[in-house]
Structure 1
Amino acid sequence: MLNFQKLSLLWTLLFLVGNPATGKNHCADKCGKVRIEFPFYLRNKNLNHTTDYPPEFGLLCTQQNKPILELPTLPIQLFVREIDYKSTLIEIYDPQNCLPDKLLKLGNASISPFRFPKGLGRPPPKLNVSFFCCDSLSCPISLLPSYKDVVDPRLVSCTKLKDVSVEWWFSYYEEKFFMEWSKPDCGYCEAQGQKCKWRNGTNGGTECNACRTKRIPTSTVVQIAAGGVAGLILLLLLVKALFYAYVYYEKRGEDQARIEKFLEDYRAMKPTRFTYADIKRITNGFSESLGEGAHGAVFKGMLSSEILVAVKILKDTVGDGNDFINEVRAIGKIHHVNIVRLLGFCADEFHRALVYDFFPNGSLQRFLVQQNNKDVFLGWEKLQQIGLGVGKGIEYLHLGCDHRILHFDINPHNVLLDDLFVPKITDFGLAKLCPKNQSTVSMTAARGTLGYIAPEVFSRNFGNVSYKSDIYSYGMLLLEMVGGRKNTNVSVEDSFQVLYPEWVHNLVEGKDVQISLEDEGDAKIAKKLAIVGLWCIQWNPADRPSMKTVVQMLEGDGCELVAPLSPFHISGSSTVNTVVPARRQNFELEVIHEIEENSVDHF
């Protein structure tokens, strides 16, 4: 370790280095840690600014040894952190960490003789930037590019000052930005290890000049090395302390630690992380409820005056967090037009919330009415587009991701509609992930919404649980879209009735039906949706088509589609292509509770 005398010598050396020092022949000056060379000069020196240096490149060195650049056209002072003479770049910063205040004054004004760095040899593009006034922050001025669709929650309570179209945005990051100059260009001389000056004392051109510099004494090098060793030891101690702190907090709670590790692995997906205080502020204290489902309540929120969101507060916050992990993991990597977009999340102690886009049209359930209800009925063409969109979303979940995602809760309440009635599948709280080559999954209990749960999910006596279970739920949804009514009846606890409506087969056979179809095109759409729905709700999972086949059936004209037998038909019958006569059947299923497995795949 360094003794007291060596430490005193080191601090003395640093003090001397930190003060301005002038080299011979004005080849180099220093202001703090910044080297001042041609074409820059210190205005504090008594130099000939006409013949020796360009006047607009003068710098002021403050009493704190901080160089300041004053632009000729603007009354602002820019602090210089570094000058790269070889690349002709200047790094600008603000010692008060409030650079946006300087940029607000700069706006889109000219910075001649300087400019902002070019990208790929082209002038920097202009970008609209919004300035905010934030009294609650250490820097009262904040800025954000206007193209961002998610606002920093710290700016929610701020006041927008103005929007400016600027060229400096792509030169600004992490509380600093860069400028460059083109003339005089001393890059060639710097590359040769020499300095630059006016040729023959005129400002018409430059030439290289070899300047003699003082070598640093060996003793000084030793002292600097000793200081580096001491700094390294302190750094190692700090790293060790941080490591022990990390281990301590990792062991504080098993559930919270698992969620934190999971979120760290998925941090690259760019959903915004909110604190619970942010969630309360965004929802205005949970003042406007949008509804409540099996996994939590949903509230309307506002990130800004222009961005509305839906915030889902998960239930069972004292549990192991599987619902939260399922939902974030299932949709964290999904980018599909028919899957709801995750904007952010909250994992603040035991508070867990998910933030989505807000859809003013609500869920599909709102529009499942018969066509005589003109105020709500969407029309058969629109219903076909919605059914096809939901199908493509499920197909993407089954085939388009790294892992197959089984939703297990497809129903009209979990299909949201945007402003253009484009469907968005939501609520992944019951979802399971499995490899694409895995045909079945293990489950310890039935999951889903009564009336949409496939028989094999209730009991393995009806077959293995697989992606075909989602197809059954989708088929029930299609039949409800066609009939404008529910096909199920929840009676008593742990039981339900599948109401198999006779009008479905009447529709596909061309007989009288309970729904009026005046237009031939509407009749074709309704018949196609009904036939596809019947195929999807086949009792035997092996008889149901894949989602890829379902999408192809919906995209076709439907002329070649043949109705299946009753969905409760057992494979192997000799009358597979016979249309079942019109009838009404009630099938009552009792929930079969299975013995819980010893190990559950939590993914």
Structure 2
Amino acid sequence: MELQKTIALFLLFCYLISSTVANTEFCFTSACSKNEPLIRFPFRLRNFQSVDCGYPGFNLLCDASNETILRLPNKSGEFTVQAINYSTQEIWLNDPKDCLPQLLLKLNLSASPFSGIYYQDYTLFNCSVFYTMIKLNPIACLSGLNYTVYATSSMRGVSLLERPECKLIGTIAVPVQWPFYEQVMSSDLSGDILLTWANPYCKMCESRGGRCGLKRTMYTREIICENVRGSGFPKGAQYAIIVGAGVPAMLFFVGLLCFVCGRIRSYRRRAEPVLEFSSTVAPQPIELVGLDEPTIESYPKTILGESRRLPKPDDNICPICLSEYQPKETLRTIPECQHCFHADCIDEWLRLNASCPVCRNSPKCVHGTV
């Protein structure tokens, strides 16, 4: 009976651990290449990140040149993602084939979650001659040997191009990067376009240093804000603590189960006529041995400045919570290996583990370090 109770408790514990891990969606920041924008919620990279790591309509992909591509609906075409600002909910786009005006002629954002912030109307003309006396910039990728295409946003430019040798193509609203207080005589329309999105709304979360995410329930999808500064441990640190404490506890239950089984076998053997000596030794539970508080506090702290300059420029992400370092965040460095972490993340780790989570070397106590 005692053995059955122990097995039942062990199975219940395993079920709780497996359920916690199974119901936790790990959505890591990704990118198509080193110099490409970082991709995280509400965006997701198709075939690399789970569907629940992004929001509908925010799917991105990597092309053969490892450029980040956004495919807009209504046959608007594919755009390269030049940059993403998650705090202001802005995205800069251009044409991977270096002919953005061709895409602007058929741009339709009505079925997408995106919209322009500033719009400028441009009127396009197809002229059978190339004007050298008029200071107009032609659109080279739309022009040919026998014709030249011009775009203007000023009434004077329109009046200059309303000639028999010029044919009106049409007027398009271009989502420009900033508002124009003066009309432009001509433009080749090669600059990036700027779009924004209203839903999901994560500006408040991002401004507080948090990260938006998608929480799936049985009937709904809920937008949640996690890892807000001052609201507790980062999610990555919580996972590390759960794993660090759960694995030894599970090993303890296994050892306890083996011990109970050994005692039962020994009892049965003593009840038989032939005496036997059991050599079963109960496994000892594995305990976590971390560092004490004075040792942890002896490791140097750094408050990150606006430039986010670190001893190792490539180490711009905390290896524990996988979040980018932000200005005015407090970092702690392990002197022996010079690995940096969020102070909250590494403090919790070192209380449970006396080794660096990156290189697994056991740090030595360095008292008096500033």
TM-score, normalised via structure 1 length: 0.27
Task: Select the structure of larger CA radius of gyration.
Answer: 1
The structure whose RCO (Cα within 8 Å, separation 6+) is larger is 2
Greater percentage in helix: 1
TM-score, normalised via structure 2 length: 0.42
